[in-house]
Amino acid sequence: MTTRLAMLIAAAVAAGSAQAGMDEDARGVGLYGDLWRPDPVHEYWDPGAYHRPETEAVEGVFTGAECVECHADVTPGIVNGWRDSRHAAPGDGAEPVTCAACHGADHRALRFPTPTDCGACHGEQHEQMLDERRYGFPSHALAMERAVDTKHFVDKPKPEVTACLACHSVATKCDSCHTRHRFDAAEARRPEACLTCHSGPPHPDDETYFDSAHGRRYLAEGGTWDWSKPLVKGNYPVPSCAYCHMREGRHQVADKAIWKFGLRDVNPRTAENTVKRRRWIAVCTDCHGESESVAWLRALDNERKRAWRLLDEAEDLLRDLRADDLLYPAAGERPPYPVDWWERFWPRARIGFHEGQASAFYNVSGIERRYFEMWYFESLGAYKAAAHGADAQVAAGHADLRRALDDIRREAEALRELTAAERAAGKRVDPAPLWRAGAYTDLNRERN
């Protein structure tokens, strides 16, 4: 045994210079896949699309016992994880689920499991996740395709969209939420399972949950609770993410979402939302009185109504500037998305989400970018704070929204004055050469 082990390790070391298995000339997946290239790490975020087995790996076809024997020395952490899992000891006389079940047995043709692989055994959960697609985006099930199929994905600087896919991979692999190789539901019930992705702008779920009374109590005492219990009322003093968003462990988080992540100004009282409101209140009343639950949901409605009033005012300011041709660069002076080649001839400036402006970080005027950030950062932050009961952050978020509106109002006035002065002096510059072909545009698109 020792000899064989040593041989395998030697082989592994010899392979030290091996590159990632992904094809060197791999192209992106999705609608615009011809226009961008994946980074090496994408292989691990979307294994179904990019993973290629390592042809220089140790050769052989192994049983689970053989895998474990060798990897207990090479990578003991994952073997320990598996040994602690139900896969190793399913009970009821069932056979253990060993390495080959998920990775294959041929060491030069190993794969990383996709949700479909996991769904072969865990069909109910997989079905539930896929069911989210009915509710549209944002949802976990559509996270990857709606990311790479957006036009700005092709256009945005690579480091940002690459990093975005790390979390959007929740749609293409199950270990975004579940620890490999232990896969214990007790882990996934805790907030940390969700927060590797759900933190920071534009979705500070981490920061707002932990600042709430719920989160504080979890932080102080959660380490001592018995997380093997199911997520039903009476089992936990306060809810974790999954308690409210994955009712009784259901792998579908979309059927309770009224405000759509805070992205849209919705009517919270549509027929569909009235049904969702009942689901929402039903969660709260596991612990709270119904009147109190209703009052908090109305507080969220009020927060959104007030936020959108500010956003609408900012958007109106921008539309007025556009109408008076004061945006710089204007549509037609900046590059259209590569995929919107016809906009070279019929340029169209989009302002705000409803006109289809899903991203305005780049190649837009400063004031448009400021508005985009007001919507995507300040407003979404305030929304999450209100939804999670982090009131100090609601206050801070609305102060920030006001500051953004102030900035935009002042900038709009300055633009009016500046342009008037420039026109009077006859020295208005055509920005098109700078934006459409300059260093900035080139930099954005380079190596996508």
Nearer to a second copy, 348 or 402 (CB): 402
Phi and psi (nearest 5°) for 399?
Answer: -60, -40
19 binds a second copy (CB under 8 A): yes
Q: What part of residues 193-212 is at the interface with a second copy (CB under 8 A)?
A: 193, 195-197, 199-201, 206, 211-212
**Class of residue 421 by CB neighbours under 10 A (exposed 0-12, middle 13-18, buried 19+):** exposed
Taking CB under 8 A as the criterion, the residue among 4, 27, 134, 233 binding a second copy is 233
Q: What part of residues 138-167 is at the interface with a second copy (CB under 8 A)?
A: 157-164, 166-167
Q: What part of residues 241-260 is at the interface with a second copy (CB under 8 A)?
A: none
432 binds a second copy (CB under 8 A): no
Taking CB under 8 A as the criterion, the residue among 10, 121, 213, 437 binding a second copy is 213
Nearer to a second copy, 39 or 117 (CB): 39
Number of residues located near a second copy, criterion CB under 8 A: 101
Write down the least CB distance from residue 57 to a second copy, Å. Answer: 8
331 binds a second copy (CB under 8 A): no
Nearer to a second copy, 115 or 381 (CB): 381
**Cα angle 289, 294, 299; round to 5:** 125
Residues 6+ apart with CB under 8 A from 316: none
Q: What part of residues 85-144 is at the interface with a second copy (CB under 8 A)?
A: none
291 binds a second copy (CB under 8 A): yes
Taking CB under 8 A as the criterion, the residue among 28, 36, 43, 150 binding a second copy is 43
Taking CB under 8 A as the criterion, the residue among 296, 416, 441, 448 binding a second copy is 296
Write down the least CB distance from residue 403 to a second copy, Å. Answer: 8
65 binds a second copy (CB under 8 A): no
